[in-house]
Amino acid sequence: MADRTRARTRRASSNDRLRSRHRTLMDMRLYSVLGFGGILAVFALIGLLFFLRPSTSDVEKRELASFPAFTTEGFLDGSFFTDLGLWYSDTYPLREPLVSAGLMLENLHGIQPSMQMVGGNVAADSLPVEGADADGSAAAGDAAVVPGVNDGPVEVPSAQTLQEDIQASIMAGLYVKDGAAYSVYYFVQSAVETYCTALNTCADNLAGEANVYSILVPNNSGAMLSEDELAGLGGTDPREAIRYFNSLYNENVHPVFVYDTLREHNDEYLYFRTDHHWTQLGAYYAYVEFCKVKGTEPADVLNWERMRFEPFLGSFYDTLGLSEMEADPDYVDAYIPTSTNELVFWDEAGARYDWQVITDVSDWARGSKYAAFIGGDKPLTVIENPTMEEGPICLVIKESYGCAFVPCLVDDYKTVYVFDCRYSDYNIPQFVREHGVDDVIFINNMTLASTDTVAERLLWMSTE
């Protein structure tokens, strides 16, 4: 009897224990549901804090989506709601910390080899035999009709399309080695032909009035990597590609071949490792080569007053987020011209700003140090040299590679005008005549010169 009672008591106590464990488990599950719901509620509440919503992203260097305009059509086809969703997520107040957490999560996807190739597989057009394009028209140098190039009105690419196109070209095929990224050059036949036609057109329009120079700057892989390494990357031989460009120019365009010079000096700090631009030292060697072609004595740029901005983590770092880059960042050396450090630029809205040739960007974000040069990319920048009463005038047509190059010219000219070809709407020949320009210098990175949208825009700007 006593045994049975003890057994019953044991069973009861065992059942109690099981019930208690079950309750514990269920309680914890309840907390889980409450936690889940609580997180959703908190995030939803934060989403309602409209006054905290940002309009631009410093980290991503872009404008965030704006609140969509309501249209009946957009409402009915659902695009209004899609845009609303995009605006909500893009401007969500906690987005940046969440993005950082998301990028950390992505880093857990695998291991980062010290040597890598990212950005996908890109097919380059094959490089034609030098100068022998389909009908010889561009090489003939008469701004003749090239099918699909200038055989009809050219639709001018908008700044936004240009930016996206350029971004895609630069970030396609990145070779990463020991914490430095190298962009690979891919030849694009149609763009190269358009680019050369643009320069030929400009030079023909200005024949006898101004000299037109072409400086094509190789990507860092072309200038800095060994021949074997470069050949192993796929892509197009940049030296041959620049020679092909040059072969398509007519006699009115003066090519400045900087490729070999840069390679001769490639044990120096000519390009950044974490950014797709070159340093001012790289730009200086191109400037020396330009002076040789022009037949003038180069200024003693490297002995000008120097400012150093560090640390600099540029576009490659933004895209790749490699810890190796963060551990060994770049620095920007900038040389202040002796004649002046003043300039004026106009932004896209037409507002005028007084600025500096070399700006002290020590306090700027670590990704923005390249903006030390001529205030960055503007539709029109003007630098007046106060030490010259009379003197030559030049116009530089460039994208961001030209920013580091322009300061080298300041002491040599009475006035330096600068167009950023992506934002400027001027007609080049007309501007040259109106302002008495003597030298027109096209300086562009060769990948950008091989981008259809850039080339088409230059053709539009060069055609009267």
Partner 1 sequence: MAAYLAVPTRFKNPVLLASSLVFYAWGGPRYVLLICFEALVSWFCALRIAGSKGSMRRIWLIVELACLLGLLGYFKYWTWILTGTHALAGVPADVPQIVLPIGISFYTFQLISYVVDVYRGTIRAQGAYWKLLLYCSLFHQCIAGPIVRYETVAHEIEKRTVSERDIYEGVRRFSCGLAKKVVLANSCAAVADTLLPIGGDALATQVASGCWLGMLFYAFQIYLDFSAYSDMAIGMGRMIGFHYLENFDHPYQCSSVQDFWRRWHISLSSFFRDYVYIPLGGSRCSQAEYVRNMAVVWFLTGMWHGASWNYILWGLYFLAFLLLERFVIRDRLPKPVGHAAALLVVLVGWVLFRFEDFGEMTSVLAGMIGLNGAGLFNLSVHTAFLQNIFLLAVSALACTGFGSWLRRRLSTVAGGGDVAVRVVGALEMLTPPLLLLISLAALAGASYNPFIYFQF
Contact positions with partner 1 (CB under 8 A) in 253-312:
276
Footprint of partner 1 on residues 75-94 (CB under 8 A)? 75-78, 81, 89-90, 92
Minimum distance of partner 1 from residue 368's CB (angstroms): 5
CA distances 298 to 88, 216, 285, 302, 396, Å, are 54, 19, 10, 11, 17
Tell me, by CB under 8 A, how many residues bind partner 1: 78
Candidate residues 68, 234, 311, 392; the one interacting with partner 1 per rule CB under 8 A:
234
Cα–Cα nearest to 398, from 369, 382, 426, 419: 419
Let me know: does 229 contact 266? Beta carbons within 8 Å: no
For residue 53, count CB atoms less than 10 angstroms from its CB and return exposed for 0-12, middle for 13-18, buried for 19 or more: middle
Candidate residues 53, 68, 167, 237; the one interacting with partner 1 per rule CB under 8 A:
167
Candidate residues 136, 148, 232, 436; the one interacting with partner 1 per rule CB under 8 A:
232
The answer to the question of residue 117 lying near partner 1 (CB under 8 A) is yes
The answer to the question of residue 106 lying near partner 1 (CB under 8 A) is yes
| Residue in this structure with the two tokens 């009379």, named with its chain if needed | 390
Q: Which one, 163 or 338, has the nearer CB to partner 1?
A: 163
CA distances 385 to 313, 342, 407, 435, Å, are 32, 9, 11, 15
Residue 306, beta-bridge partner list: 335
Cα–Cα nearest to 239, from 255, 216, 210, 208: 216
CA atoms within 13 A on the CB side of 3: 0
The answer to the question of residue 455 lying near partner 1 (CB under 8 A) is no
β-pair type (180-183, 174-177): antiparallel
CA 327 to centroid of chain Cα atoms: 22
Footprint of partner 1 on residues 311-340 (CB under 8 A)? 315, 318-319
Site mask, partner 1, residues 400-439, x = CB under 8 A? Answer: x---------------------x-----------------
The answer to the question of residue 363 lying near partner 1 (CB under 8 A) is no
Query: Side chain identity at 251, as an amino acid letter?
Result: E
Token output for 12: 């009861």
Minimum distance of partner 1 from residue 250's CB (angstroms): 31
The answer to the question of residue 171 lying near partner 1 (CB under 8 A) is yes
The answer to the question of residue 450 lying near partner 1 (CB under 8 A) is no
d(CA 225, CA 145): 38
Site mask, partner 1, residues 51-70, x = CB under 8 A? Answer: --------xxxxx-------
Footprint of partner 1 on residues 23-42 (CB under 8 A)? 24-33, 35-36, 39-40
Candidate residues 127, 144, 156, 233; the one interacting with partner 1 per rule CB under 8 A:
233
Maximum separation of any 2 CA atoms in the chain, in Å:
124
The answer to the question of residue 251 lying near partner 1 (CB under 8 A) is no
Minimum distance of partner 1 from residue 32's CB (angstroms): 4
Minimum distance of partner 1 from residue 93's CB (angstroms): 12
Minimum distance of partner 1 from residue 299's CB (angstroms): 26
Candidate residues 10, 21, 306, 352; the one interacting with partner 1 per rule CB under 8 A:
21
CA distances 50 to 37, 47, 64, 86, 302, Å, are 22, 7, 14, 15, 51
Minimum distance of partner 1 from residue 106's CB (angstroms): 6
- For the chain, the residue count is 464
The answer to the question of residue 148 lying near partner 1 (CB under 8 A) is no
The answer to the question of residue 152 lying near partner 1 (CB under 8 A) is no
Cα–Cα nearest to 274, from 370, 187, 185, 172: 370
The answer to the question of residue 102 lying near partner 1 (CB under 8 A) is yes
Q: Which one, 122 or 288, has the nearer CB to partner 1?
A: 122
